[in-house]
Structure 1
Amino acid sequence: MTTARATLRVFRSSVLCLALLAGAVGAAEIDEVRRLHGAGQNAEAIERARKAIAAAPKDAAMRFQLAVMLADTGRAAEARELLEQLAQEHPDLPEPYNNLAALKAAAGDLEGAKASLDQALRANPSLATAHENLGDVQLMLALRSYERAQQLDPSGTSLPAKLALLRHLLRSVPTAAP
């Protein structure tokens, strides 16, 4: 099966980080962690974020930032664990669900990505990024179904055109890492 994998849009400088700065970690510390990460000083940024979280374990903004950095540096399992904790503790926030969906889609778990995006949209029905990501996941699920149908019935005449259209659409989806 040649299912195309598109990467979903994630939140980086998130509304979440702005909304939750009432926590113990100040905006300046999050900005410094972001600056370090943006400058490619990932180990230092992650270490600094972990120290800030150790001082304020419930600070959702810094935990979200750490999850973003972990995902950016290929540590998807750690990022996913943090995002799942955030989603459980703050079910009213869509950003952790959206970023979870991106990680799940990147791992090929499209059904899980769809479920996470459904949760994000329950938390905030007006979140455009989650709507866009849900559309991308639905396209990938459709492609998977059409590919399976073609395997089962290679003589199906309508499938090649549908597959070509979906593949074309999915090529236009950004492929940046979550």
Structure 2
Amino acid sequence: MCTSALFAAAAHADDYGDVSQLIRSGKYAEALAKADVYLAAKPKDPQMRFLKGVVFTESGKTDDAIATLSALTQEFPELPEPYNNLAALYASQNQYDKARTALEMAVKLNPAYATAHENLGDVYAKLASQSYAKSLQLNPNNPQATQKVAALRDMLAPQTKAKAAAKPAAK
């Protein structure tokens, strides 16, 4: 009995590893197919469902990724990673308030989650940039707002559009 339990655990680890490797190799259709086969037997498995969300994200199926990760946050509200990845998707769509809310939940669940803290800082910076830009629209002669917009633009410039203001968790 112990041997079969160990074998089952090893088999699950292999499935996760296989899907992860397929994602890293850019073989999204294969990764999705393997995840779906696994999930047919274990539909509630949060780790494989998370990996399926990563497949959707990496293959550009943003709506499917959001749906998958949102379902995970509803069914497993104690897991911070789906909130972080959901925030990355929202940020890529310029939905910074939604991204902030998701990231605040991620850091509440795991105060030691460094990536979520960094992403939250990026989202706050983007929100601040938007507020300063609005201030300049209302008062174009405000030198402090002009300096703040420029400083934030420089700080946020190295990020790619795909990352927008958040980095997803790999696993």
TM range (shorter): 0.7 to 0.9
Q: Matches of 1:77 and 1:44 in 2, distance apart?
A: 19
Q: Matches of 2:95 and 2:52 in 1, distance apart?
A: 23
2:103 to 88, 112, 117: 117
Name the structure 1 match of 2:85: 99
Is the alpha carbon distance of 1:161 and 1:98 closer, same or farther for their aligned partners in structure 2, counting shifts above 3 Å? same
| 1:84 pairs with 2:103 | no
Q: Which structure is higher in helix share?
A: 2
Q: Matches of 2:55 and 2:101 in 1, distance apart?
A: 23
Name the structure 2 match of 1:137: 123
Name the structure 2 match of 1:51: 37
Name the structure 2 match of 1:17: none
Query: What is the CA-CA distance between 1:90 and the residue it aligns to?
Result: 1.2
Specify which structure has the bigger relative contact order, considering alpha-carbon pairs within 8 angstroms and separated by 6 or more residues: 1
Q: What runs of 5+ residues in structure 2 fail to find an aligned partner?
A: 1-7
Q: What runs of 5+ residues in structure 1 fail to find an aligned partner?
A: 1-21
Post-superposition Cα deviations, 1:119-175, rounded to whole Å, max 9, x if no partner, equal 111111111111101100000000000111111111112122111100011013455
The number of residues matched between the two structures is: 157
CA contact (8 A) 2:92 2:161 kept: no
Output the TM-score relative to the length of structure 1.
Answer: 0.82
Percent identity reads: 43
CA contact (8 A) 1:70 1:79 kept: yes
Output the TM-score relative to the length of structure 2.
Answer: 0.85
**Bigger radius of gyration, 1 or 2?**
2
Query: What letter corresponds to residue 44 of structure 2 in structure 1?
Result: K
Query: What is the CA-CA distance between 1:23 and the residue it aligns to?
Result: 8.2
Name the structure 2 match of 1:163: 149
Q: Matches of 2:90 and 2:145 in 1, distance apart?
A: 27
CA contact (8 A) 1:120 1:130 kept: yes
Task: Say what the alpha-carbon RMSD is for the aligned residues.
Answer: 1.9
